[in-house]
């Protein structure tokens, strides 16, 4: 009569296993669109992942999946994380929006955090940073440091977030240097070091002496370094890729947000919502300045930072004119978040046409 005993033993083992699970760490999953690498969009998210591991120690356990394509695979990977016991899942690319919403429906007890999207539900929160505030500050640096009054901008795709960044950069530049203009080259890729470098060199050839980028690799900074012009990094501090060229960088800092959200999840107070944090919330930060940046430039940037922090300065406070000189936002008004999130026109000072539909 061995069988019932064995069954009982198995049942006991299962019971123990389930009681044991109550004290188990909170499993947190991250889905990354690109490899972590040593700088860039995904790298910044991973810095924050390591940060929460440090803060919460054995109360949590994190895992991540890199290089998840934004097609059919995203849904499967997110679901895999949910079924393997992850209770808080960060999906860190725009293309994960629909898959996140879909998987979230099936796992109502799991909390999801989707970066940069606009669809939410009871257990899907969204978060994005006011990257444009950092762009504006970068523009001040570029406007002060340029000699040719032309900056070059290597951009990925003409979606609102990128267009908004270009516009904020131009407005920052022209706030200190009204003659300054920006030339844009679209490379149709978030990560393509070859194309990014070609675009950077073309812009330098057209007279740009400060480069800015909205792409993921460090190729633009490296091109600037080898051609002897300036560059401003994006996502991460990229100074080690261009010690002479790299003036500063507009960086993302997700540590505070992730720490706060994990705290809520641990305490059982997690709620869905839409966070759009900027300099004030510590989500956008400037990297340390290059030696070449003079004190008056540093002061202009720190003054503007302070003004943005306490709400006295908004990069899109009126009057805002578009490229054709038409006033889009009259003096005394400020562009609404809704208009900011669907921006699809260039402000005054951008040289060239926005790719049209």
Partner 1 sequence: MSPLGGMRFQIEPRLEQSRAIRTLAPLIAVVLTVLVGAVMFAALGVDPLAALASFFLHPVDTLPELGDIGVKAAPLMLCALGLAVGFRGNVWNIGAEGQLIVGALAGGGVALAFHGATGWYILPLMVAAAFAGGAAWAAIPAFLRTRFHANEILTSLMLTYVAAQLLGFLVHGPWRSPDAFNFPVSRDFGDDARLPYLTDTTELHLGVLFAVIAVPLMWVLTQRSYAGFQVQVAGLAPRAADYAGFKSSRIVWIGMLSGGALAGLAGLGEVAGPIGKLQDQISPGYGFAAIIVAFLGRLHPVGIFFASLLMALLYLGGGTAQIEMQIPPAVTGVFQGMLLFFLLGADLFVGYRIRRVGRVAA
Give the residues lining the site for partner 1 (CB under 8 A): 29, 35, 63-73, 75-77, 79-81, 83-84, 94-95, 98, 118, 157-160, 188, 341-342, 344, 355-357
| Complex with partner 1: residue 16 or 118, whichever CB lies closer | 118
| Complex with partner 1: residue 302 or 342, whichever CB lies closer | 342
* 258 CA to centre of own chain: 13
Between CA 250 and CA 146 the distance in angstroms is: 18
To the nearest 10 degrees (0 to 180), the angle between helices 255-267 and 41-56 is 40
| Complex with partner 1: residue 36 or 221, whichever CB lies closer | 36
In 3D space, the residue among 51, 37, 93 whose CA is nearest the CA of residue 236 turns out to be: 37
| Complex with partner 1: residue 294 or 341, whichever CB lies closer | 341
| Complex with partner 1: residue 46 or 253, whichever CB lies closer | 46
Query: Two tokens at 350?
Result: 């951008």
The distance of closest approach from Cβ of residue 117 to partner 1 in the complex, given in angstroms and rounded to an integer, is 9
In 3D space, the residue among 257, 260, 262 whose CA is nearest the CA of residue 277 turns out to be: 257
> What is each CA distance from 261 to 25, 64, 180, 265, 268, in whole angstroms?
15, 17, 41, 6, 10
The distance of closest approach from Cβ of residue 61 to partner 1 in the complex, given in angstroms and rounded to an integer, is 11
| Complex with partner 1: residue 157 or 276, whichever CB lies closer | 157
Strands 327-329 and 320-321: antiparallel
The distance of closest approach from Cβ of residue 276 to partner 1 in the complex, given in angstroms and rounded to an integer, is 13
The distance of closest approach from Cβ of residue 69 to partner 1 in the complex, given in angstroms and rounded to an integer, is 4
The distance of closest approach from Cβ of residue 337 to partner 1 in the complex, given in angstroms and rounded to an integer, is 12
Contact predicate 230/210, CB 8 Å: yes
Task: Say which residue the tokens 């669109």 belong to.
Answer: 33
The distance of closest approach from Cβ of residue 264 to partner 1 in the complex, given in angstroms and rounded to an integer, is 23
CB atoms within 10 A of CB 158: 17
């Amino acid at each position: 009569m061995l069988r019932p005993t064995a069954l009982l033993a198995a049942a006991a083992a299962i019971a123990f296993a389930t009681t044991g699970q109550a004290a188990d760490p909170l499993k947190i999953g991250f889905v990354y669109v690109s490899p972590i690498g040593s700088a860039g969009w995904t790298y910044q998210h991973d810095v924050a992942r390591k940060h929460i591991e440090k803060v919460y120690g054995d109360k949590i356990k994190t895992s991540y999946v890199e290089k998840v394509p934004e097609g059919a695979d995203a849904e499967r990977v997110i679901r895999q994380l949910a079924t393997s016991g992850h209770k808080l899942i960060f999906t860190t690319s725009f293309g994960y929006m629909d898959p996140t919403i879909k998987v979230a429906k099936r796992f109502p007890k799991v909390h999801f955090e989707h970066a940069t999207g606009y669809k939410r539900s009871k257990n899907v929160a969204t978060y994005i940073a006011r990257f444009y505030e950092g762009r504006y500050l970068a523009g001040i640096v570029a406007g002060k440091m340029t000699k040719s009054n032309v900056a070059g901008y290597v951009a990925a795709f003409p979606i609102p977030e990128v267009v908004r960044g270009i516009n904020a950069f131009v407005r920052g530049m022209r706030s200190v240097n009204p003659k300054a203009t920006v030339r844009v080259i679209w490379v149709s890729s978030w990560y393509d070091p070859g194309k990014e470098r070609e675009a950077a060199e073309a812009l330098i050839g057209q007279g740009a002496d400060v480069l800015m980028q909205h792409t993921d690799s460090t190729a633009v900074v490296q091109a600037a370094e080898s051609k002897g012009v300036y560059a401003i990094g994006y996502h991460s501090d990229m100074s080690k890729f261009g010690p002479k060229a790299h003036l500063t960088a507009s960086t993302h800092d997700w540590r505070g947000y992730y720490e706060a959200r994990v705290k809520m999840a641990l305490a059982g107070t997690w709620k869905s919502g839409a966070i759009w944090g900027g300099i004030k919330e510590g989500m956008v930060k400037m990297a340390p300045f290059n030696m070449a940046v003079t004190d008056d430039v540093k002061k202009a940037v720190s003054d503007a930072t302070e003004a943005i922090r306490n709400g006295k300065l908004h990069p899109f406070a009126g009057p805002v004119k578009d490229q054709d000189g038409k006033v889009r936002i009259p003096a005394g008004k400020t562009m609404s978040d809704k208009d900011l999130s669907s921006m699809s026109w260039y402000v005054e000072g951008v040289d060239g046409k926005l790719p049209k539909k």
